[in-house]
Chains A and B, each alone.
Chain A
Amino acid sequence: MSAPDNNQADNIIEARGLTKRFHGFAAVSEVDLDVRRHAIHALIGPNGAGKTTFFNLITKVLQPTEGTIRFNGRDITAESPAAVARRGIVRSFQISAIFPRMTVAENVRIALQRPVGTSFHFWRPESSLDTLNGRVDELLDAVGLLSLRDQTAAGLPYGRKRALELATTLALEPELLLLDEPTSGLGGEDVDRIADLIRKVSANRTILMVEHNLSVVSKLANTITVLARGKVLAEGTYAQISTDQRVIEAYIGGEE
């Protein structure tokens, strides 16, 4: 697909033996996972499989009980969530994460503002951020929100909120984009729009996404990892995965 084929394995993320226990219960258990640069890599699995927890480990929201995470070959296991984000790993959340009482434009601007380097400047007027407006509008245009730029984000319909979240995430030009169920809770038309958007932004970056909608996964992903009960069950292309007996069992057993 969009990824230029690279012969030597060029991994942006290498997780080794990654484990997270909550009071003894292993939500993620000894997971080894490589994400190839410029891939769209999907993480699927039944509810409670540990997908969100895995995201939380990669983005350092949770500290792993065991294991290491490498990003571009560098060990980031001990870094803070904000530092990891500054390295270029930016995520979206399973339940839409916006700044509800800020306007649509401000939601995107807050992301653009950080690289400017004036975020601690409490003596500057807000208008010093006006130079970012052009870029804000470009991003909003890309997700179809330009006409709503001065609305308060809280008032947007759910699908628009997800689009806004994506625009905010993209504003940081992340090298690795982690999307946690970007189409969940969306109607058919919105699903297609978000899927198109993901494909569009996948050029020159890597995407790791959790997704329950298998038709979206089949359309977008070039590699799929199946997680069940915290462990990697299978990995491969959509064709390989969809015929894997263990995967079918895990889904049937897991969904009840």
Chain B
Amino acid sequence: MMTLLGISPQLLFGQLLIGLINGVFYAMMSLGVAIIFGMLRIGNFVHGAQYMLGAFGAWYLLHLPDLFPGLGLPSLGYWWALALVPFAVGLIGAGMERLFIRRVYDLEHAYGLLLTVGLAMVIEGLFNVGYGAAGQQYNIPDSLKGGVNLGFMFMPYYRLWVIVAGIAVCIATWYTIERTKLGAYLRAATENPDLVRAFGINVPRMLMLTYAFGVGLAGLAGVMAAPIYQVSPQMGQSIIITIFAVVVIGGMGSISGAIFTGLMLGMIEGLTKVFWPQASTTVIFVIMAIVLVFRPAGLFGKETVAAHAADMSTARPDSILENGKLWLVILGVGGAILPFLVYPVFGMKMLCLALFACAYNLIFGYVGLLAFGHAAFYGSSAYIAAYTAASWGFPTEIAILSGVAVATVIGALFGWLAIRRQGLYFAMITLALAQVVYFYAIQAPWTHGEDGIQSVPRGYLLGVIDLSDNMNMYYFVLAIFLIGFAAIYRIVRSPFGQVLKSIRENEPRAISLGYSTERFKLLAFTLSAMLAGLAGGTKAIVFQIASLADVYFMTSTDALLMTLIGGVGTLLGPVVGAVIVVTMQKEFATLGSWVIVVQGTAFVLCVLFLRKGVVGTLEDWLAARAERRRIAAGGEPAAIARGAH
């Protein structure tokens, strides 16, 4: 039968083996993510970086004499690494929990994810500064060199070891959590911390140890992975998104489910490599989409709990900072003057990203859904606009609109899939779906892979105004920005926007009033994707290029960062955030790889100290000042202050 399909057993079993090895890593990693998610309610995005730390830890131990010459340190091999590194990485995890993660337990779940995204950027950024994109070689330990011929295939000992050891670790973890008293305490602590505290157990320490344990698992996986994959700063970044998809597929609340799902998906990925190689990078994400349609709670998950939306908005509706008509005029005038103060191209970049952030804020700020894949809409629109303008000779405005149309359709599809889940799951799902677009863009011939679509003609607006002139182009972009800004203001302050607001404030109540809230969220998500597409398409024309960076998840992260810095759910926040982030990127451009470290640090600092963002903080200050003045003028201290919360 195999020969009928033209596939040799060697290839089939070889790929299945690779798949199984990947599956072991998926299982170990998703186990850690699931434990941390289940017990701490933290979507541990930094898990990939922690895995990378494990691999680098092993590499460091091996190179101790080179790293610290003169100290006479020995070179510690694989087995030492296996014994020491998971503890060291776990210890680092404990430190991170104490310093950072502990501070967000009581906040909206979104902050936990944002914080760990920031930490991942810092750690991976630092290693990138040190080691660049090149991978370090780590040899298989001597004792596990060679292999055994199974007749139908050659089985290297090291791979056999990884499979056996990895599965053993998974089973031991499962046993500890599901079958021992310690595990019972852990599970109880997450459901009812007060009760467990009454038993005389130190809950904060227990949570710290849990986190350290999950991180240690990642470190262990990293050590085991070092001889198989290259030890590189990027190794964790690609795996974490897959892990999130695995967790979504497996479903919450089942440790054995996470293990089984990880192994199974690794094998499916391996099989896909045999039968349809192009699809192997996306198969897990596609399976995730299918599972979401038929079993929204995941294969092994319990009933989905109706979580509420994250209300992170800091706006006061009657504040002067929320007066859209006024600010439309101010931004229009300011925007018109801007190209005389800065380079028009720089100004256009600001405008495109500001529109992108405003579009993102529509779903994150005004609906409270932590979307994490807006790069898919921004980037796909950029590609379509670039392609239709460059290859089909579409007029500029039609090219941009084509991009917008495609982004809208993708947005509706992704939204339809993702809206089934809320909170952190929503973030993981949108992130994973966006990854499908990214991998498609890598492989499709028309997107030209790493090069992207270049030399896109800017064309003529309405066939007359020459857009290759930077000033003309600038005012066109300004007009697009203002239209987008006005559209969002209208959406937020429409009958539809009222319903969105009610959903954000109290979704169960909105449902009990007869609103099918999912449809409202879907429409909002689609509109947000559409406007993100408008920003992306415009950007492709301005810079005359559409590239992988546009669909890469870092672009989604940028949208988040801009919104967060500026002020979530405020009218002006995304604009202010875009100005800050774009300026920061420009100022730090000379730092090269450090930019990502700086951005990650900004993320962490924002989550810890500036959760209201610049505009939200300003808002508070204005409100406090107004209150002081009123009291100074003889008013009563407000018992029922407007906007109190």
Is B642 located at the chain interface by the 8 A CB criterion?
A: yes
Give complex CA distance A38, B428 in Å: 48
Select which of A80, A99, A100, A122 is within 8 A of B494 by beta carbon.
Answer: A122
Most chain A beta carbons < 10 A, residue from B317, B514, B519, B645: B514
Cα distance A137–B200 in the bound complex, in angstroms: 55
CB distance from A214 to the nearest CB of B (A): 27
Q: How many residues of A contact B (CB 8 A)?
A: 44
B644 with A82: CB separation less than 8 A? no
Q: Does A97 contact B (CB under 8 A)?
A: yes
User: How far is the CB of A63 from the nearest CB of chain B, in Å?
Assistant: 9
A49 and B644 alpha carbons, distance in the complex (Å): 36
**Could you give, for residues 355-389 of chain B, a 1 whenever the CB lies within 8 Å of some chain A CB and a 0 otherwise?**
00000000000000000000000000000000000
Q: Please tell me if the beta carbons of A172 and B506 are within 8 angstroms of each other in the complex.
A: no
Expressed in whole angstroms, the Cα–Cα distance for A128 and B497 within the complex equals 12
Given A124-B495, A125-B490, are A99 and B512 neighbors across the interface (CB < 8 Å)?
A: no
Could you say which of A85, A111, A126, A155 contacts B497, with CB atoms under 8 Å apart?
A: A126
Chain B residue numbers with a CB within 8 Å of A98 are: 506, 509
The answer to whether A155 and B639 have CB atoms under 8 Å apart is: yes
CB <8 Å contact, B523 and A113: no
B641 interface hit (Cβ, 8 Å)? yes
A219 interface residue (CB < 8 Å to B) = no
Indicate if the CB atoms of B640 and A102 lie closer than 8 Å. no
Of residues 492 to 520 in B, which have CB atoms within 8 Å of A's CB atoms? 493-499, 501-502, 505-506, 508-517, 519-520
B514 touches A124 (CB 8 A): no
- What secondary structure prevails in chain B residues at the interface with A? helix
Q: How far is the CA of A125 from the CA of B510 in the complex (A)?
A: 21
Digitize A137-164: 1 where CB-to-B-CB distance is under 8 Å, 0 elsewhere: 0000000000010111011100000000
Measured between beta carbons, the chain B residues less than 8 angstroms from A91 are: 512
Contact A82 B514 (CB under 8 A): yes
Whole-angstrom distance between the alpha carbons of A158 and B506 in the complex?
A: 17
Contacts of B517 in A (CB 8 A): 82
Q: Name B509's contact: one of A99, A114, A152 (CB within 8 Å).
A: A99
A25 at the A/B interface (Cβ < 8 Å)?
no
A97 to chain B, nearest CB (A): 4
CB nearest neighbor in B for A81: B511
A223 at the interface (CB under 8 A from B): no
Q: Is A106 an interface residue (CB 8 A)?
A: yes
* B527 in contact with A122 (CB, 8 Å): yes
B513 lies within 8 A of A172 (CB): yes
- Chain A residues 88-143 with CB under 8 Å of chain B are 90-91, 93, 97-102, 106, 109-111, 113-114, 116, 118-126, 128-129
Instruction: State which of B490, B493, B499, B642 has its C-beta within 8 Å of the C-beta of A119.
Output: B499
Give CA–CA (A170, B644) in the complex, Å.
26
Which residues of chain A have C-beta atoms less than 8 A from B141's C-beta? none
> A83 — which chain B residues lie within 8 A by C-beta?
514, 516
For chain A, residues 62 to 96, give those with C-beta under 8 angstroms from any C-beta of chain B: 80-83, 85-86, 90-91, 93
* B442 contacts across to A, CB distance below 8 A: none
Which residue of the partner chain, among A82, A93, A122, A156, contacts B640 with CB atoms under 8 Å? A156
B317 cross-chain contacts in A, Cβ below 8 A = 101
Contact: A128 with B495, CB < 8 Å?
A: yes
Q: Is B393 an interface residue (CB 8 A)?
A: no
Find A113's partner among B498, B508, B643 (CB 8 Å cutoff).
B498
Distance in angstroms between the alpha carbons of A157 and B501 in the assembled complex: 22
A residues in contact with B510, CB < 8 Å: 110
- Check A59 for interface membership: any CB of B closer than 8 A: yes
> Is A109 within 8 A of B514, CB to CB?
no
Asked if residues A114 and B514 are in contact (CB atoms below 8 Å), the reply is yes
Partner of B513, one of A111, A150, A152: A111
Which of chain B's residues has its CB closest to A120's CB? B496
Residue of A with least CB distance to B500? A122
- A168 interfacial by beta-carbon distance below 8 Å: yes
Residues of A near B498 (CB, < 8 A) are 106, 109-110, 113, 119, 126, 129
Residues of B within 8 A of A (CB): 306, 317, 490-491, 493-499, 501-502, 505-506, 508-517, 519-520, 523, 527, 639-645
Known: A82-B516, A119-B495. 13 other contacts (CB 8 A): A80-B516, A85-B511, A99-B502, A110-B498, A110-B499, A113-B499, A114-B513, A118-B495, A120-B523, A122-B491, A125-B493, A128-B495, A172-B514
Query: What are 27 inter-chain pairs, A to B, with CB distance below 8 A?
Result: A61-B512, A82-B516, A85-B513, A85-B514, A86-B514, A90-B512, A93-B508, A93-B509, A97-B506, A98-B509, A99-B502, A99-B506, A102-B501, A113-B498, A119-B515, A120-B523, A122-B496, A122-B523, A124-B495, A125-B490, A126-B494, A126-B497, A126-B498, A129-B498, A151-B642, A152-B643, A172-B513
